[in-house]
Amino acid sequence: MGAAFHIRGTVDLKRYLTARQQEVDRALDRFLPKASTKPATIHKAMRYSLFAGGKRLRPILCLAAAEACAGLTKSALPLACALECIHTYSLIHDDLPSMDNDDFRRGRRTCHKVFGDGIAVLAGDALLTIAFEIAAEAETWPRYDLRAIFREISVAAGSRKLIAGQVADLEGEGKPINRAQLRYIHQNKTAALLTTSVRLGAMSANATPTQLATISDFGQALGLAFQVIDDILDVTQTSEKLGKSAGKDVAAHKATYPSVLGLEKSRAEAGRLTRQAHAALRPLGKKAETLRALANYLLEREY
Ligand code: GRG
């Protein structure tokens, strides 16, 4: 990371986040078909959800992980954009009436509320598909060729990870579940894509197998911490602050960390997982300071 993002020797995370968000937004705009491209409805819907003001955490984690492994953010950018397309697809589908049935996401009406259910399903499908087209633009290495990259993305987004978590979440609604089942949901629904985000950054930097293992340990701990915090925010914040409907988990009788452990223990668990994420980064030394700052930022976030 350049000195441009430092104040008095520590990372100026606010400036870092703003600069990286803008970089990712510009690249996404280049990679996506224009809103006027035929059939315009689908491209408008894809862009509507993609440019609705998400935090761009997955792409930023991908870029920061590339830096932590001495890589260039430029080489990681197509992978960072592919991750945001997959994440946005999952949000569009999750909001559908047949899933979480939400009217509000990223501070605006959900995709299906504006474009109808059919176009929203297709916009999600198209974002998932274009993710692979965009990822194909990534710089590759003999150790991490396009096959390895595509396998990494497919497994994380597939029926044993992201979709497995969503299935367990749907099937668990209204039922009592224990801590191990809750961890399974969070590990797959949330932590898997976050882990793949940092792994892809490391792969774009031609990380050594040891570096990749270090980054994976960090991603798993950070991913779980992220979801514990998300569960806490769902019960402690307003819909306005979150940009999505607050209190939905309780209303849908979903098992969450606060409902299983209580709020105080959930906060302690988020802190413990963040410390675990920090500890995982130790072998990377100073190069990982942005990743450390990002883990702290996610722990303290309010939306
Ligand atoms: C439909 C296959 C499929 C999966 C859906 C993403 C998801 C799985 C469900 C959405 C609800 C939820 C609580 C997901 C967990 C991951 C999560 C907290 C997503 C929100 O991520 P942020 O906060 O959102 O990074 P922004 O909008 O900032 O990108």
Distance 15 CA to ligand 1 centre (A): 25
Residue keyed to tokens 């259910």: 117
E strand intervals along 167-236: none
Superfamily of the domain at 7-300: Farnesyl Diphosphate Synthase (1.10.600.10)
State the pLDDT at residue 8: 57
> pTM (2 decimals)?
0.94
- Ramachandran category for residue 246: left, alpha or beta (phi over 0 → left; psi -120 to 50 → alpha): beta
Instruction: List the structure tokens of 35.
Output: 């809103």
Distance 58 CA to ligand 1 centre (A): 11
Dump pLDDT digits (tens) for 81-118: 999 999 999 999 999 999 999 999 998 999 999 999 99
List the chain domain ranges. Answer: 7-300
Contact 189, 166 (CB under 8 A): yes
Dump pLDDT digits (tens) for 219-273: 999 999 999 999 999 989 888 888 878 877 777 777 889 988 999 999 999 999 9
Q: Give yes or no for residue 91 CB within 6 A of ligand 1.
A: yes
* Rounded average pLDDT over 138-160: 96
Dump pLDDT digits (tens) for 1-31: 555 676 555 789 999 999 999 999 999 999 9
Closest ligand 1 atom, residue 230 Cα: 18
Q: Give yes or no for residue 161 CB within 6 A of ligand 1.
A: no
Q: Whose CA is nearest to atom 24 of ligand 1?
A: 54
Contact 292, 61 (CB under 8 A): no
Distance 91 CA to ligand 1 centre (A): 5
